[in-house]
């Protein structure tokens, strides 16, 4: 696919929550305006080829194209400047949690690790280069694990894996361990059972890149930033973004979207501490009201031509998703009725904040020893074969 003199295009989606109107529910238009002005100036200077600014819930989304590759300090500096200036406006307007995701002032060439979420990919454009930018609010990066698996490894979702010779060899998944900062690559279909053993724990193991197996061509990228792990405490959820290439050697647009037809349960929602269904919506419904949710995902389709962003098409803004949304809302009711009980509320390890230690401390003198057996939590079995024989 690479042709010597041709220049690669980079798509950089960088997002941050810099404050929102009436709680955590939606970005204020004035902050979108100021971020747009910063990017417009960069386009005039030639740093950016093109850009599109939008929001999903309380997350400000910068969709940018340029020729500088991924992790470029000028592009990251530009995003940082846009977020800083938008934060200034958010503070003037008294917006809620102004500057929420800008965890540090120590910008030194890269926004990774400072709070914003980043999904970037670089490629030689095909004659037609259709991409989809996914943006979710009130959830975490691992929320994309299940759809990425469906899109690139599940023939019941993606017909092309069976019937299109260009997809038939399968894909490679880069899985990132956010606790250990390490990565492992799995081949699909041959290693899907090993891969699922990991990515079924989406709070820890995150699919962050997918490549086509035959030529290593980049197919998808997901932001993996987890704010609470950066800050060491709750500062908001890590509302993720992803970019997926489609058609002609990649799954079709309809195959990519199909992975969102089942509103699967994700972690996030109210106070970043609850499970709820991921509901696909158009931009006009990208605001988080019911119990600060339910978690939502928007899909914008673009064609990239010489770096220009042609579009977007607001892909979930369609009646074809009404039944998915209806199911998501039924699940919303069902989950909500659990109130403070797990598994609606996240387990103690995954909650963004908890009063459990204070409550235990307060009542510690009221516990009485009963003389009954003490027990540690049971160990997880790791050797089933020798068991039950
Ligand atoms: P066309 O033949 O219209 O390009 O459609 C192919 C395809 O990928 C449909 O999903
Ligand atoms: P965000 O992570 O989207 O800011 O949401 C935080 C929250 O507490 C919602 O209830
Ligand atoms: Mg917020
Ligand atoms: Mg958010």
Kindly state if the Cβ of 239 falls inside 6 Å of ligand 2: yes
Nearest atom within ligand 2 for CA of residue 137 = 3
Structure tokens at 54: 């939008």
Burial of 250 (0-12, 13-18, 19+ CB in 10 A): buried
From the CB of 93, is ligand 1 less than 6 Å away?
Answer: no
Q: What is this structure's pTM?
A: 0.95
Span 69-124, pLDDT tens digits: 999 999 999 999 999 999 999 999 999 999 888 888 778 888 988 889 999 999 99
Q: What's the CA-to-centroid distance between 343 and ligand 3, angstroms?
A: 23
Check pLDDT > 80 for residue 229.
no
State the Cα–Cα distance between residues 232 and 228, nearest whole angstrom. Answer: 5
- Cα separation, 161 vs 138, whole angstroms: 31
pLDDT band at 231 (very low <50, low <70, confident <90, very high): low
CB 361 within 8 A of CB 306: no
Average pLDDT, the chain: 93
The helix or strand, by DSSP H or E, that contains position 88, with its residue range, turns out to be: helix 73-92
**Span from the CA of 284 to the centroid of ligand 2 (angstroms):** 19
Q: Please choose, from the candidates 107, 103, 105, the residue with its C-alpha nearest in 3D space to the C-alpha of residue 115.
A: 103
177 pLDDT more than 60: yes
Q: Which atom of ligand 2 is nearest to the CA of 97?
A: 4
CA distance 375 to 190: 41
State if residue 236 touches ligand 2 by the CB under 6 angstroms criterion: yes
Please give the C-alpha separations between residue 67 and each of 128, 129, 216, in angstroms, as whole numbers. Answer: 18, 16, 20
Query: How far does residue 5's CA lie from ligand 3's centre (Å)?
Result: 44
Q: Residues 275, 267: contact at Cβ < 8 Å?
A: yes
**In the chain, what is the greatest distance between 2 CA atoms, to the nearest angstrom?**
79
- How far is the centre of ligand 4, averaged over its atoms, from the C-alpha of 60 (Å)? 9
- Active site residues per annotation: 17, 234, 237
| Predicted confidence (pLDDT) per residue in 272-310, tens digit | 999 999 999 999 999 999 999 999 999 999 999 999 999
- Smallest-distance ligand from the CA of 19: 3
Q: Is 348 in the pocket of ligand 1 (CB under 6 A)?
A: no
* Nearest-ligand number for the alpha carbon of 251: 1
The answer on pLDDT for 1 being more than 50 is no
How many residues in the chain?
A: 389
Span between the terminal Cα atoms of the chain, in Å: 54
Q: Which atom of ligand 2 is nearest to the CA of 291?
A: 10
State the burial class of residue 386 (Cβ atoms within 10 Å of its Cβ: 0-12, 13-18, 19+): exposed
Ligand 1 atom closest to 253 (CA): 10
Does residue 252's CB lie within 6 angstroms of at least one atom of ligand 1?
yes
The answer to whether 296 and 26 have CB atoms below 8 angstroms apart is no
Say how many CA atoms lie within 13 Å of 291 toward its Cβ.
22
**Of all helices (H) and strands (E), which one includes residue 117?**
strand 117-123
Q: What is the DSSP string of 122-149?
A: EEPPPSS-EEEEEEEESS-GGGGHHHHH
Tens of pLDDT along 358-384? Answer: 888 999 999 999 999 988 887 887 777
Closest CA to 53 of 84, 73, 27: 27
């Amino acid at each position: 696919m690479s042709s010597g003199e041709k220049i690669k295009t980079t798509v950089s989606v960088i997002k941050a929550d810099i404050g929102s109107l009436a709680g955590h529910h939606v970005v204020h238009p004035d902050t979108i305006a100021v971020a747009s002005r910063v990017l417009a100036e960069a386009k005039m200077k030639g740093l950016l080829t093109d850009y599109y600014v939008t929001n999903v819930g309380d997350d400000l989304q910068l969709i940018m194209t340029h020729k500088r590759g991924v992790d470029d300090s000028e592009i990251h500096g530009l995003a940082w400047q846009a977020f800083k200036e938008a934060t200034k406006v958010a503070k003037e307007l008294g917006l809620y949690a102004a500057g929420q995701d800008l965890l540090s002032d120590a910008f030194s060439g890269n926004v990774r690790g400072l709070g914003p979420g980043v999904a970037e990919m670089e490629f030689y454009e095909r004659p037609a280069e259709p991409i989809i930018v996914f943006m979710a609010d009130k959830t975490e990066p691992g929320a994309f694990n299940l759809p990425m698996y469906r899109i690139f490894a599940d023939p019941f979702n993606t017909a092309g894996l069976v019937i299109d010779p260009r997809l038939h060899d399968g894909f490679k998944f880069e899985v990132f361990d956010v606790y250990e900062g390490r990565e492992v690559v799995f081949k699909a279909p041959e290693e899907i059972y090993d891969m699922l053993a990991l990515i079924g724990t989406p709070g820890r193991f995150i699919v962050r890149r997918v490549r086509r197996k035959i030529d290593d061509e980049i197919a998808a990228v997901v932001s993996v930033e987890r704010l609470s792990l950066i800050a060491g405490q709750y500062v908001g959820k890590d509302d993720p973004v992803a970019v997926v290439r489609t058609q002609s050697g990649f799954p079709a647009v309809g195959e990519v979207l199909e992975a969102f037809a089942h509103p699967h349960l994700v972690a996030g929602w109210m106070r970043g501490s609850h499970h709820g269904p991921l509901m696909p919506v158009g931009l006009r419904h990208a605001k988080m009201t019911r119990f600060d949710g339910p978690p939502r995902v928007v899909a914008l389709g673009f064609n990239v031509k010489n770096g220009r962003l042609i579009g977007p098409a607001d892909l979930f803004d369609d009646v074809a998703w009404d039944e998915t949304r209806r199911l998501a809302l039924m699940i919303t009711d069902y989950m909500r009725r659990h109130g403070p009980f797990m598994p609606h509320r996240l387990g103690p390890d995954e909650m963004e904040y908890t009063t459990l230690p204070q409550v235990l401390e307060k009542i510690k003198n009221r516990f009485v020893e009963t003389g009954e057996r003490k027990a540690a939590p049971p160990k997880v079995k790791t050797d089933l074969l020798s068991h039950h024989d």
